Structure 1
């Protein structure tokens, strides 16, 4: 079965180091909480809010051992009024036997407000 694992984080400024550091931390946490093996990853989509353009967040994934062949694409998020700014969203598509409701979606920093329903279900 192919499943999507969702994650999101924020940064405080449009600064390359923050974007790379926070994206890497988020993806590593998504992998850890869902016991994901790199060979089971089909691809990763990363979107950023409009004010983030200092670097490609995908750059951070190349720092993770074994991820050199994982297809990653970055894009800009839809500019919805009053949406969360300085936000990086990740959709990791994986092959797994885990049921949909057992996937642990991960939200860091201010992105926790995006899906309080999932945060509550996960006990965070």
Structure 2
């Protein structure tokens, strides 16, 4: 078994608490489904937001998922590089898995598809 990092990113239309929570939930649920993740296999989740998103903690909806209340979650600000993608929530989920690196499915939704077009569907 190895620890693998699984990336997800999505954008919101506005700095709105409901949108931030909704997009975070959509990302984590797709990531769980596509990678067959069980909460007890998750080492931790790093969550970043761009500095234009300050209306909600994106960890909150993840923590409310069944079995995810004990998974370590940490929110932080993304590095504010000039010209970078705005209104973006990113996840880095560290998972104990038997999957090889090339079997991991990363999730890029909405405007975040530009971050990794090679991995976005």
Q: CA deviation at 1:62?
A: 1.9
Runs of 4+ in 1 over 6 A off after TM superposition: none
The runs of 5 or more residues in structure 1 that have no matched partner are: none
Q: CA deviation at 1:88?
A: 0.3
- Counterpart of 1:75 in structure 2 is 76
TM-score by length of 2: 0.97
**What's the RMSD between the two structures over aligned residues?**
0.7
The runs of 5 or more residues in structure 2 that have no matched partner are: none
Q: CA deviation at 1:63?
A: 2.3
- Counterpart of 1:27 in structure 2 is 28
Counterpart of 2:118 in 1: which secondary structure? helix
Kept after mapping to 1: 8 A contact 2:10/2:88: yes
Matches within 5 A, 1:89-104: 89-104=90-105
1:84 is aligned to 2:104: no
Q: CA deviation at 1:66?
A: 1.1
C-alpha distance in 2 between matches for 1:87 and 1:47:
8
Determine which structure has the larger helix proportion and give its number: 1
Q: CA deviation at 1:60?
A: 1.1
1:4 is aligned to 2:8: no
TM-score by length of 1: 0.94
Counterpart of 1:17 in 2: which secondary structure? helix
Kept after mapping to 1: 8 A contact 2:39/2:67: yes
C-alpha distance in 2 between matches for 1:17 and 1:114:
23
Q: Deviations over 1:16-36 (max 9, x none)?
A: 000011101100100100001
